[in-house]
Chains A and B, each alone.
Chain A
C-alpha cells in the first residue's frame, strides 16, 4: 500500500459512482468465530456523501478500461480520461482495511470490460474468492456480472458474492441499440438468467443437503437510466414489474441521467438530472413491492407518465375517488395501505391500536399518523369531515399542491419604504 493506490482509488471511484445500488441487506451470511465481518440483518449506511446518497459499500471498479463505447457511460472507450487498474491484492487489502475501521459494510465490485468478458469476470472472481477464502471475510459483497461471461464463471462468483447484478440501463431495446450498438437485450438477460438458474439450483440442493452452499443469497438487482431516452414511465414500470415477477430479482434501481458525455448528440442535453422523476419512479416501485399495487393501476395508456407534482399513490386515489373514504376502524390492512399518506408503518400501527380502542383523529395523530394527505380519504368515528368526494378530486389536488408561502413574522415591525420615493 502506498501513495499510488490513492491515485487509483480516486480514478476508479470516480468511474464507479454512477452505479446506484447501495443495499447491503437481505443476505444470511452471519459472523463466524474469530473471523472478520458479518452481513447479517439489515444493512447499515456508514456514511453519506455530499449528494445525500448513502455510502454503505466500497463502490469501486477493478479497472475503468473498457472495450465498449456506450454513449451513456463515462468509461466509454472513446472518452479521454485517466485510466487505472487495481491489482487483486491492492483491492482486497483496501476492502479489508476499510472494513476494519468501520468505514464500510463490504464491497461493491464492478469493472470495465478488458480484452474479453471472460477475462474480466475471472479477475473479479479472483478478488471475491481471495476475500472469502484467504481473508475469511464475511462482509457483504455485491458483484457485477459481466455481460457475455460464461456460465461457469457466474456459477463460481455466485458462491462468494451476496448479490450479483447486471444493469439493463435502457428500458427499450431500440434505444439501447442506438446508444450502445455493441449491446442488446440478449446480452443483459442471459447473465440474469444464469444468476437465476444458479439460485434456483442452490435452493433445490439445500432441500436435499442442509450444507449445500448458498448461491447469491441476497438475489440480484438491476439499474435503469431515466431520462436518457424518450421512453415513458410506463415502459420503465412495465419492465420493472415483469422483472419483479422473477423469483431472484430483489431490487430495480433508477438512475437520473447525468449527462456525462455532453458531446454525444444521441443524448438529450439536460441542465439537471431528472431528480423528481427518479423519485416518483422509486415511489411507484415501492407501491409495486410493498403496497400490492398492480403496474396498470399506476401507469396506463391514458397516463403513460407519472405525475411529477403529486406522488403516484395520491394520483391513483384522485383518479379513483369512488374507493374512498375508508373507515380506519374497520378497513382491511390492504385498503389502509391504499390511503395516500399512510405508509406500511402507519397502517400496521392503526391495525394494532384499534384492537384496544376506537380511533379518532386525536389518537391517529398521537400514534404518529400524518394526516396532511390522509384526511381527505379517511373517516373515523367522529363527525364526518370533508373527504375527496365532497371536495372533488381536482380541489383536493389543488389544496395539496399549493405552495405554502413563507410565514410572515407578525412580531416584526415592517417599515413601508414607499414614502421614501
Chain B
C-alpha cells in the first residue's frame, strides 16, 4: 500500500499527480499532513506543493478535457467529501492515460461517481442562490448567512455580482466561518476574529437593522402565507422543495 501525504489543497493534489508520475508510484491512500498513518503500509511519500508542477499538470489536463469537465474537477473539490481527493486523483490519472477524453464515459465508475458529486455540489450552489435572504443593516450593507453542506460560497459570487451590483453585501458561511464582502467595486474574502451576534446566529440584531427592515420582513412573511392556496395544501411537496435544513435561515419560515 502506497501512501501520499500532502497539504490538502487542490494545488497539492495536482503536485501529487506530478510526483506520482515521476516516481512511477501511485497512491492507494491520500492523507493530509498530521493525519494518523494506518497500522502498516509499504511506502509513504510526502508531497511538497509546488505551483510550477501543479500548473504543468493543469496544462496537461487542459489539453485533454473540455472546459466544463475542468470546472467539474474544481467544483467537486469544493464538496470537501472525505474521499474526494482520491477520486479526483483516479479521474485525473485515467484522463492522462486515456488516448481521448473520458469525461462522457459514464460506464466508468469513477467518471460516474464524480458526475454524481458534481451534481450534488451544483445543487447545493443552487439552493444557496435560492434560499439566501439578505437583511439590510443600518449602514446599508445587506447581510446573509447560512450553513451550506458543501463549500459553495465562491460559486455563488458571480450570481450576486450580477444582480446586486449597486448594493453592499456580505455573504457569510456560518459553518466554515468566512464570507465574501462586496463594497460596490470588488468582492473580497473576509474572516472575522471577533464574532458578533449576527455572525453566530445569522440574524441581525434589531439595534443594527435598517429602520424599514422589520417591515419588509413582515411584508414578505405575510405574502408567503397569503400566496398559498388553502385547498391545495401539500406539506410533503413543500418539504421536498424547501428542505427543512434551510428553514432556520429563511425569513418567511420564521414568521
Task: Give the B-binding residues of A (Cβ under 8 A).
Answer: 1-3, 5-6, 9-10, 13-14, 16-18, 30-31, 33-38, 40, 44-55, 58-59, 94, 97-103, 139, 256, 258, 272-273, 275, 349, 352-353, 355-357, 363, 366-367
Contact call A352/B131, Cβ cutoff below 8 A: no
Q: Which of A14, A44, A50, A356 contacts B104 (CB 8 A)?
A: A356
| Contact of B112 with A by CB under 8 A | yes
Q: Tell me the nearest residue of chain B to A38, going by C-beta.
A: B162
Complex CA gap A52/B216 in Å reads 23
Q: Are B220 and A349 in contact (CB under 8 A)?
A: no
Q: Which of A34, A45, A49, A100 counts the most B-chain CB atoms under 10 A from its CB? A: A49
Q: Is the CB of A349 within 8 A of B106?
A: yes
- Given contact pairs A6-B215, A46-B130, A353-B106, enumerate 11 new A-B contacts (beta carbons under 8 Å): A9-B226, A31-B162, A38-B163, A47-B250, A48-B237, A50-B228, A51-B230, A51-B234, A51-B237, A52-B234, A101-B134
A101 touches B220 (CB 8 A): yes
Tell me which residues across on chain A come within 8 A of B242, comparing CB atoms.
47-48
A117 to B218, CA, bound (A): 33
CB of B238 closer than 8 Å to a CB of A:
yes
Q: In the complex, what residues of B have CB within 8 A of residue A38's CB?
A: 162-163
Contact across chains for B215 and A52 when beta carbons are under 8 A apart? no
Contact B227 A49 (CB under 8 A): yes
Interface contact B130-A45, CB-CB below 8 Å: yes
Known: A36-B164, A258-B229. A49 touches B224 (CB 8 A): yes
Are B107's CB and A9's CB within 8 A?
no
CB-based contact B226/A17 at 8 Å: yes
Instruction: Given A10-B222, A49-B228, A49-B238, answer yes or no on A366-B233 (Cβ-Cβ < 8 Å).
Output: no
**In chain B between 202 and 242, which residues have their CB closer than 8 angstroms to a CB of chain A?**
212, 215-216, 218-220, 222-224, 226-238, 240-242
Q: Could you tell me the distance between the alpha carbons of A356 and B104 in the complex, rounded to whole angstroms?
A: 8
Per the bound structure, the CA–CA distance linking A148 and B133 in Å amounts to: 40
Q: Tell me whether A1 and B212 are in contact in the complex, defined as CB-CB below 8 angstroms, given that A98-B220, A349-B106 are known contacts.
A: yes
Which residues of the other chain, A, contact B252 by a CB distance below 8 angstroms? Answer: 47, 103
CB within 8 Å for A18 and B105 given contacts A40-B162, A47-B242, A52-B238 = no
Contact (Cβ within 8 A) B229 A102:
no
Residue among B131, B216, B251 with max Cβ neighbours from chain A (10 Å):
B216
B-side interface residues, number (CB < 8 Å): 51
With a cutoff of 8 Å between Cβ atoms, the chain A residues found around residue B135 in the complex are 101
Interface string of B151-183 (1 = CB under 8 A from A): 000000000001111110000000000000000
Once the chains are docked, how many angstroms separate the CA of A53 from the CA of B233? 9
Closest residue on chain B to residue A59 by CB atoms: B227
Least CB distance from B204 to A in Å reads 12
Answer whether residue B144 sits at the interface, using C-beta atoms and an 8 A cutoff. Answer: yes
Q: Contacts A6-B222, A51-B238, A59-B227 hold; do A101 and B163 have CB atoms under 8 A apart?
A: no
**A51 touching B220, Cβ below 8 Å:** no
Cross-chain contact B144 with A102 (CB below 8 angstroms): yes
Contacts of A275 in B (CB 8 A): 232
Q: Are A44 and B130 in contact (CB under 8 A)?
A: yes
Task: Enumerate chain B residues within 8 angstroms of A33, measured Cβ to Cβ.
Answer: 165
Report the Cα distance A38→B107, complex, angstroms: 39
- Residue contact B167 to A100, C-beta cutoff 8 Å: yes
Known: A49-B228, A98-B216. A356 touches B165 (CB 8 A): no
Smallest CB separation, B126 vs chain A (Å): 8
In the complex, which residue of chain A has the Cβ closest to the Cβ of B253? A47
Q: How near does chain A come to B167, taking the closest CB pair, in angstroms?
A: 6
With CB as the reference atom, state the residue of chain A lying closest to B108.
A356
Q: Which of A2, A9, A100 contacts B222 (CB 8 A)?
A: A9
A16 CB, min distance to chain B CBs, angstroms: 8
Complex: A54 Cα to B215 Cα, angstroms: 23
CB contacts (< 8 Å) of B238 on chain A: these are 48-52
**B132: CB under 8 A from chain A?**
yes
> How far does the Cβ of A222 sit from chain B's closest Cβ, in whole Å?
20
Closest partner residue, chain B, to A355 (CB atom): B104
Q: How far is the CB of A86 from chain B (nearest CB, A)?
A: 12
**Which A residues are CB-close (under 8 A) to B240?**
52
CB of A8, distance to nearest CB on chain B (Å): 10
Set of chain A residues within 8 Å of B236, measured between Cβ atoms: 52
Q: How far is the CB of B7 from chain A (nearest CB, A)?
A: 34
Cβ-defined contact, A367 with B134, below 8 A: no
A103 to B241 CA separation, bound complex (whole angstroms): 16
In the complex the two chains form, what is the Cα distance from A1 to B125 in whole Å?
Answer: 34
Across the interface, which residues of B come within 8 angstroms of A349, CB to CB?
106
B84 sits at the interface (CB 8 A): no
Closest chain-B Cβ to A359's Cβ sits at a distance in Å of: 8
B227 close to A17 (CB less than 8 A): yes
A52 B241 Cβ-Cβ under 8 A? yes
Report yes or no: B131 in contact with A52, Cβ–Cβ below 8 A.
Answer: no
CA distance A44 to B156 in the complex (A): 13
Least Cβ–Cβ distance between A309 and chain B, in angstroms: 20
A–B pairs, 28, beta carbons within 8 Å = A1-B212, A5-B219, A13-B226, A17-B226, A30-B162, A34-B166, A35-B165, A36-B165, A36-B166, A38-B163, A45-B241, A48-B237, A50-B228, A51-B230, A51-B234, A52-B238, A54-B241, A55-B224, A55-B227, A98-B219, A102-B133, A102-B134, A103-B252, A256-B232, A352-B106, A353-B104, A363-B107, A366-B107
Name the 8 nearest CB pairs between A and B, nearest first.
Answer: A52-B237, A49-B228, A52-B234, A31-B162, A48-B241, A51-B232, A13-B226, A38-B162
Q: Let me know if B235 and A50 touch, CB within 8 A.
A: yes
Closest A residue by C-beta to B102: A356
| Interchain CB contact under 8 A, A34 and B223 | no
CB-defined contacts of A36 to chain B, threshold 8 Å: 163-167
Q: List residues of chain B with CB within 8 A of the CB of A366.
A: 106-107, 109, 112
Q: Given the complex of chains A and B, what is the CA–CA distance between A363 and B136 in angstroms? A: 51
Residues of A within 8 Å of B106, CB to CB, are 349, 352-353, 356, 366-367
Asked if B134 contacts A353 (CB within 8 A), the reply is no
